[in-house]
Structures are given as structure tokens and as C-alpha cells.
């Protein structure tokens, strides 16, 4: 479980911010308005944002600033949105990235691998 840093010796107390609620995989969560979706989820202990599209291995944030595209989720119906650079908004519907259907499952067999 992770937590918010409410008071910081140099940066001071966390400024008071408006709260909003959003859903992640149909669960209701609270967040501070304007914070990134990745931060809001991590603050509630959620690290896994998607699974690898083929292997289903869990994935979370890596760079946290929009460079690596590891944090892709579905936001309000749009796939491939980066959770680390998207601000949470009231009523946002977020779904974790899922395994994609692979029609040619056993390509390795036919390629001598």
C-alpha cells in the first residue's frame, strides 16, 4: 500500500484540492481534481494498469511523464490513453488495458521456433 505525502519538510502541507470520483474497472475511487490518473491510482495502492496485449503479464507506470507508453488504459471509451499525463475528471470511466485477441496463436510452431 502506498500513501500520499500530506506534509513535506520543504514543500509544506498538501494544498487543499477539490475531490472527484471516477471508476477503474467498474470500482469507484476518489481522487484530487486535476491530478494524474496514474498518481490517483497509485495513491490507492493500484500499480497494475494493463496487461501485456499478448502474454497478459501485468504492467504499470514506468516513466510517469508520457515517454514510454507503458501506462496505456481505456479512458471514456478511448483506447491507448496514457494514465500518467491524463488528469482525472469527475465521472471518468477508466478500464485497464486487456489482452487482445490473437488469431494466429501458434505462429511459433509454423516458424520452427
Partner 1 sequence: MENKVIIIGAGPAGLSAAITLAEKNIGVVVIDEYLYAGGRLLGQLYEETPNKWWNGIAESERLLARAKELNVEFSLQTSVSDLEKMDQDWVVHTNKGVFHTKQLLLATGAAESPFPIPGWTLPGVMSVGAAQVMTNVHRVKPGERGIIIGVNVLSSAIAMELQIADVQVAAITLPAANLLTIDSSDPLDVMNSLLHVSHMAPSLLIKIGSKFMKNEFLKKLGITFYPKDGVKMWGIPIMLRKAVIEIVGKEQVEGVVLATVNVDGSIVPGSEKRIDVDFVCIAGGLYPLAELASLAGCPFHYIEQLGGFVPLHNEQMETNLAGLHVAGNITGIEGAKVALAQGKVAALSIASKLGASVTQLDIQQAIKNVETTRAHAHIQFHPEVLVGRQKMKKIWAQSLSHTMS
Residue 71 contacts ligand FES per CB under 6 A: yes
Gap between the Cα atoms of 77 and 12, Å rounded:
38
Q: Which of 23, 33, 56, 57 binds partner 1 (CB under 8 A)?
A: 57
Residue of 64, 92, 96, 97 that binds ligand FES (CB under 6 A): 64
Assigned C-alpha cell, 32: 484530487
Phi, psi of 79 (to 5 degrees): -80, 155
CB neighbour list of residue 55: distance below 8 Å, 6 or more residues apart: none
**Beta carbon nearer to ligand FES, 68 or 93:** 68
Which range, of 22-30, 42-50, 94-102, 105-113, touches partner 1 by CB under 8 A? 42-50
Amino acid at each position: 500500500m502506498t500513501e500520499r505525502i500530506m506534509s513535506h519538510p520543504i514543500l509544506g502541507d498538501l494544498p487543499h484540492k477539490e475531490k472527484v470520483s471516477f471508476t477503474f474497472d467498474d470500482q469507484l475511487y476518489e481522487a484530487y481534481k486535476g491530478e494524474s490518473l496514474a498518481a490517483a491510482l497509485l495513491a490507492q495502492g493500484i500499480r497494475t494498469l494493463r496487461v501485456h496485449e499478448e502474454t497478459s503479464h501485468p504492467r504499470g507506470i514506468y516513466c510517469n511523464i508520457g515517454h514510454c507508453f507503458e501506462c496505456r488504459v481505456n479512458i471514456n471509451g478511448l483506447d491507448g490513453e496514457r494514465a500518467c499525463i491524463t488528469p482525472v475528471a469527475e465521472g471518468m470511466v477508466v478500464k485497464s488495458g486487456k489482452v487482445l485477441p490473437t488469431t494466429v496463436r501458434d505462429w511459433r510452431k509454423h516458424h520452427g521456433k
